[in-house]
Structure 1
Amino acid sequence: MAAALKKVLITGGAGFLAKSLSERLPANYTLDVCSRTRLDLNDVIQLEVYLKKHKFDIVIHTATYDAAPRDTKNDPKKVLESNLRMFFNLARCRDSFGKMLYFGTGAEFGRDSWTENMDESFFDRQVPNDQYGYSKYLMTQFAMQTNNIYNLRLFGVFGELDNWRYRFISNICAHAVLGLPIKVHQNSSVDFLYVDDLTKIVRWFIDNNPTHQVYNVCRGKSYEFVELAKQVRSLTNVNVDLVVNHTNINK
């Protein structure tokens, strides 16, 4: 008899990560991709009943409340509470599923203490000052005390379904293709990961039992925004202006 397909719940179904993962994860998983309209993570009773009913092997928690994008209507004052409520409403039901993967951020380290090549040991050297980083920091503190919740800490992910209006790599690619000036407001150095590579890593975490609760998920090499913009302009072979407002590297 063939082994049963692993049942995977993906939250935040309308977002970039959920859409990208659901398109790329193979057919040997049974996927349930839920947006807020189908499964409200703030509804404690609905969520508890849903998880107990379906008995997922894996929960991939991508839902997040982020007030950083310029075109968002989210309230910056609600970032901390909103992210923690969604996370802990899932975490309190951890006996109803096999394991949960969620995506942390380099902001957990506290932006003021950022340096090159930060490994997992940099965690908790500083408490983040911003609500988004602090929410992820608290999630990690909790996950480290469990045996089935794992933080895949991301530093920069890009892919075709990303929002080109404000995500850097998608934005500069779109501008180059359209023949528009490529703009770098503030130079920075980021370790970017292509979503295809992230999917392979997520598959490994689905199919294996990790030793630790927290992993930095990256390529191990950072690129400056200005350098990437020049490469994109060269690869597309278009004659567009490159406008850089601030060349110094910002944390």
Structure 2
Amino acid sequence: MLMKTILLTGGSGFVGKNILESFLSEKYIIDAPSSRELNVADDKSVAQYFASHHPDVVIHAAVKPGHRNAPDFNNLFFTNTRMFFNLERYSDQYEKMLVIGSGAIYDNRNYRPKVKEEDWKNNIPVDEHGFCKYVCEKVIENSRNIYDLRVFGIFGKYEDYAIRFISNAICKSLFDLPITIKQDRNFDYLYVNDLMPVLDWFISENPLYRSYNVTPDKSVSLYDLALMVREISGAPDLPILLAQKGLGLEYSGDNRRLRSEYTKLAFTPIEESIKQLYNWYFFHKNELNKKFLLIDK
């Protein structure tokens, strides 16, 4: 039986790197062209790619970031929607496309605990990132073979430790720096390793819906995560600083739609996943830049 071929966009990013280092790279033939080889935002570049390549599946993980550490906020909406539609227009040439989506589609002004997939229609996101996901979903929900995998908090090796909370807390503990929290919130934090069997299931099966919340069963607060990091690091007296009192809006999704179809869905216990990530950073400490941890963005 021939191995399926996969076009992976964003192969040099956080999620993309983890995909390439996972068991998926042994089970499938993954082509992860650089941005020079394939500019997904350029229609001619994408046309040339599909003229000479015929992937069975597309995993769209490329994104122009809009987070607080992004180097360039210009043309955020234009670039991200352009990338999606440049790939969507060739949907008749591949079996399916898996879009690494986001809980931002539910509008950051109106988050509520364990939001359901259909609730994306309730509000139009005010931020560009969420609005981009909203616009693309208008096409995805009526597509034949495109699936939106909505992740909320996702963490693991290769993420931006300057701003991503779990990695930031771990790295600060390695340098004996206080763990800082702007405001405590409950999050659905998905360990990036747990995304890989989910992607494998979507590649091989025929899901009933076009959108799925890919989230763990239970949410966890930032403060509890900080306590876990402090315990795992062996520094029980490391300060945890809260800048703002109270609890912010919870960022979590209902995963029952996915669980009803993917019965083997499993998640690494949060304490174990943090321990694994801590150990990874411990052995890569010499690659960390301490100055990125001294200023909270």
Report the TM-score range of the alignment, normalised by the length of the smaller protein: over 0.9
Q: Which residue does the alignment assign to 2:134?
A: 137
Q: Which residue does the alignment assign to 2:3?
A: 5
Candidates 100, 103, 109, aligned match of 2:100: 103
Q: Which residue does the alignment assign to 1:223?
A: 220
Task: Report the Cα offset of residue 26 of structure 1.
Answer: 4.1
In 1, Cα distance between equivalents of 2:208 and 2:51? 26
Q: Which residue does the alignment assign to 2:159?
A: 162
Contact 2:9/2:59 (8 A) holds in 1: yes
Deviations 1:148-204 (A, max 9, x none): 110000101111121111111111011112221111122221100001110110011
Task: Report the Cα offset of residue 5 of structure 1.
Answer: 0.7
In 2, Cα distance between equivalents of 1:12 and 1:112? 28
Match runs of 1:1-251 below 5 Å: 3-24=1-22, 25-70=24-69, 72-75=70-73, 77-238=74-235, 239-251=237-249
TM-score w.r.t. structure 2 length?
Answer: 0.80
Contact 1:143/1:149 (8 A) holds in 2: yes
Matched AA of 1:241 = P
Deviations 1:114-167 (A, max 9, x none): 111111121110010111000001111110111111000010111112111111
Cα pair distance change 1:247/1:38, threshold 3 Å:
farther
The structure where strand makes up a greater share of residues is: 1
In 1, Cα distance between equivalents of 2:41 and 2:102? 22
In 2, Cα distance between equivalents of 1:94 and 1:225? 40
Deviations 1:16-72 (A, max 9, x none): 0100111102412001112312210122122122123221011000111122132x2
Secondary structure at the counterpart of residue 108 of structure 1: helix
In 1, Cα distance between equivalents of 2:13 and 2:25? 19
Secondary structure at the counterpart of residue 6 of structure 2: strand
Matched AA of 2:119 = F
Secondary structure at the counterpart of residue 103 of structure 1: strand
In the TM superposition, structure 1's runs of 4+ consecutive aligned residues that sit over 3 Å from their partners are: none
Contact 1:164/1:171 (8 A) holds in 2: yes
Deviations 1:205-237 (A, max 9, x none): 111111111000000211111111011101211
In 2, Cα distance between equivalents of 1:46 and 1:165? 33
In 2, Cα distance between equivalents of 1:66 and 1:163? 11
Segments of 5+ residues of structure 1 without an aligned counterpart are none
| C-alpha RMSD over aligned residues | 1.2
Cα pair distance change 1:182/1:152, threshold 3 Å:
same
Contact 2:184/2:221 (8 A) holds in 1: yes
Matched AA of 1:51 = F
Contact 1:189/1:224 (8 A) holds in 2: yes
TM-score w.r.t. structure 1 length?
Answer: 0.95
Secondary structure at the counterpart of residue 83 of structure 2: helix
In 2, Cα distance between equivalents of 1:98 and 1:45? 22
Segments of 5+ residues of structure 2 without an aligned counterpart are 250-297
Contact 1:52/1:96 (8 A) holds in 2: no
Matched AA of 1:49 = Q
